[in-house]
Amino acid sequence: MSMLDIDALNVWFGSGRDRVDAVRAATFSVAKGESFGLVGESGSGKSTILRAISGLAPHWSGQMVVEGTPLTKVRPKAFYKTVQMVFQDPYASLHPRHSVDQVLGETLHLHGFSDIDARVVKLLDDVGLGQKFRFRYPHQLSGGQRQRVAIARALAPEPELLLLDEPTSALDVSVQAEILNLLVDLRRDRGLTYVMVSHDLSVVGHMCERLAVMKDGAIVEIMGVETLRKMEAKHPYSQSLLAASV
Amino acid sequence: MMDTLLDVEDLWVRFPSRQGVFDAVRGISFTLGRERLGIVGESGSGKSMTGRAILRLIRPPGIVEAKQISLGGVDLMQKTEKEMRAVRGQRISMVMQDPKFSLNPVMTIGDQIIEAYRQHNRASKTEAYAKALEMLEAVSIRDADRVMRAYPHEMSGGMGQRIMIAMMLIPNPEILIADEPTSALDVSVQRQVLDIMDKLVKDRGMGLIFISHDLNLVADFCDRVLIMYAGRIVEICEADKLNEAKHPYTRGLLNSLPRLDAPRDHLEVLKRDPAWAQAPSVSGRI
């Protein structure tokens, strides 16, 4: 059964003369437990797809189906329990005046959990931070630690589908390795499904089983990671992207 | 023997803080000839501070100390602020990371380049305009006339960075310091910008200091690489022999990169040894 089906998705911003079609007729599906990558240059619409899925893009048409339920403009609460997102910049995605405990506690409270205290402890252990980070503020954490908190927050409602928007592009390579390992472990332990956006082909090659290459808002090619490793991309644009990144 | 453009000896950058003095750069030495010298390291390793210290751009309370930073035999540490202004831009130029923050948002690109040119040269507006056009074409900007009239927000990141490089090259400096010039750019554009820098450096016989956190990029692009850790140089190697690097830190960084040709379940995580930070700096002087 597929976790996510996207069919002929269009996303646009503005209207009339200023209308920009950020995503045009994107179609793909992601199976349960799969890890799917979206790659492309900046402005190719890869992040916009994630934002549309999570309900952050105001104007879209086409069909998005999560676990057999078609998405509507207004999302039910159950949707946010299934789908969560991790953003690119860990410096911007955490509230600067909320401690780690508040960030995680608030999320858990909003999702109606009662054993908040025990869950915060467990979440911090799961992302490899431990108890001593519980009452720290974001400015007392490094970039990698903040991204771990952001991942913990996304995991709090026990989602099944995690949308990852360039989760490591703001981090050093050594820290990137730690975060990618954490994401690999979490997926294995919890049977999560990932949709991951990245401009780095080697990161997507490491994390994902299949990937879509995007250009100017359209998906030009969907291929398996084996094809990527053998450098056998068919579309000329994916070939040039591959050539540029090696 | 390569002639030495810049000789840095025992450079320290210190920041006094409430918890005591923090040493961002701790006694590093290196020389730069007519070559492409890469400086790599993680954030906080002091690589950007090194670039800034050479131009004496570190403001108080930051302290810069060095036995010498000599540019063609003249010690920059001895110069007054006024004399430094003749060095900055004119003899040593710097390209910063993000073109969005280094261009003036309320001035057209043409006006900015012309201003930069007339700052250093006596020239009429028409001459400066022609020179600016010529420079934009040198960095492969098509349609230079339109770009001259445009504002920075109308430019893409890659265009902005090329404009910055054009502006830095107008006074024909001897040394170009590029601080992560391509980190804000896409891979495809990255290549173009590097090719342009490479060509200019070769044609003009400039020295280039290329600061980056991207090991593969530096290995590909530079001649010699300094690897910095905690404010010190831990290893120096020829760029094409970076894969044979010996220091555990360099090895760790190289192994922590995911690779398309060698898939793995888990990436290697860098294990830091406190001894690395204590070990004395390796000298990069030739």
The complex's ipTM?
A: 0.74
Q: Distance (Å, rounded) from C-alpha A145 to C-alpha A143?
A: 5
Domain count, chain A: 1
- Could you tell me if A229 lies within 8 Å of chain B, comparing CB atoms? yes
Q: What is the pLDDT of residue A24?
A: 92
A83 DSSP assignment: E
- pLDDT tens digits along B195-208: 888 887 888 888 89
Please list every residue in chain A whose beta carbon sits closer than 8 Å to the beta carbon of residue B258: 177, 180, 202-203, 205-207
CA of A229, closest CA in chain B: separation in Å?
5
In the beta sheet, which residues pair with residue A86?
A164
Task: Specify whether B98 is located in the same domain as B205.
Answer: yes
- Could you tell me if A142 lies within 8 Å of chain B, comparing CB atoms? no
Q: Distance (Å, rounded) from C-alpha B221 to C-alpha B178?
A: 13
A174: nearest CB among B42, B265, B266: B42
- Mean pLDDT rounded to a whole number for chain A: 89
CA of B211, closest CA in chain A: separation in Å?
14
Q: What is the pLDDT averaged over residues A216-239?
A: 88
Q: What is the pLDDT of residue A221?
A: 92
State which amino acid sits at residue B127.
Answer: E
- Mean pLDDT rounded to a whole number for chain B: 85
Look up the pTM and report it: 0.81
B257: nearest CB among A173, A175, A225: A173
Q: Distance (Å, rounded) from C-alpha B225 to C-alpha B245?
A: 11
Q: What is the pLDDT of residue B1?
A: 43
For residue A213, pLDDT over 80 is answered with: yes
Q: What is the pLDDT averaged over residues B236-257?
A: 86
Task: Name the least confident of A78-82, A137-141, A167-171, B83-87.
Answer: A167-171
For residue A243, pLDDT over 90 is answered with: no
Helix segments in chain B, DSSP class H:
47-54, 81-87, 99-102, 109-120, 125-138, 144-149, 157-169, 187-204, 215-221, 248-255, 274-278
- Could you tell me if A125 lies within 8 Å of chain B, comparing CB atoms? no
Query: What one-character-per-residue DSSP string does B88-110 give?
Result: BTTTEEEE-S-HHHHS-TTS-HH
In the beta sheet, which residues pair with residue A117?
none
The domain boundary residue, chosen from B191, B215, B239: B215
Q: What is the pLDDT averaged over residues B71-75?
A: 86
Task: Specify whether B96 is located in the same domain as B200.
Answer: yes
Q: What is the pLDDT of residue B2?
A: 60
CATH classification of the domain holding A171: 3.40.50.300
Q: Residue A229 and residue B188: Cβ atoms within 8 Å?
A: no
Residue B177 near residue B211, CB atoms below 8 Å = yes
**Percent over 90 (pLDDT), chain B:** 12
Work out the number of other CB atoms within 10 angstroms of the CB of residue B196.
19
Give me A61's structure tokens.
């048409």
Q: Which residues contact A158 (CB under 8 A, 6 or more apart)?
A: A81
- pLDDT tens digits along A163-206: 999 888 878 888 888 889 999 999 999 899 999 998 888 889 89
Domain span at B203: 91-215
Q: Between A and B, how many residue pairs show a Cβ–Cβ distance under 8 A?
A: 73
- Mutation test of the interface with chain B: which of A47, A174, A225, choosing the one with the most B Cβ atoms within 10 A? A174
Domain span at A174: 2-245
Dihedral Cα A177, A180, A181, A187, nearest 10 deg: 180
Task: Specify whether B125 is located in the same domain as B165.
Answer: yes
A133 DSSP assignment: G
Alpha-carbon distances of B108 from B111, B134, B153, B170, B237, rounded to whole Å = 5, 17, 10, 17, 43
CATH classification of the domain holding B108: 3.40.50.300
For residue B41, pLDDT over 60 is answered with: yes
Kindly indicate the confidence band of residue A102, based on its pLDDT and cuts at 50, 70 and 90.
very high
A99 DSSP assignment: -
Domain count, chain B: 2
Give me B136's structure tokens.
């934009």
The DSSP H or E segment spanning A70 is strand A69-70
Alpha-carbon distances of B137 from B148, B175, B247, rounded to whole Å = 11, 21, 43
Please list every residue in chain A whose beta carbon sits closer than 8 Å to the beta carbon of residue B267: 177, 180-181, 206
Q: What is the pLDDT averaged over residues B172-179?
A: 88
Instruction: Of B61, B216, B272, B96, give the one whose Cα is nearest residue B168.
Output: B96
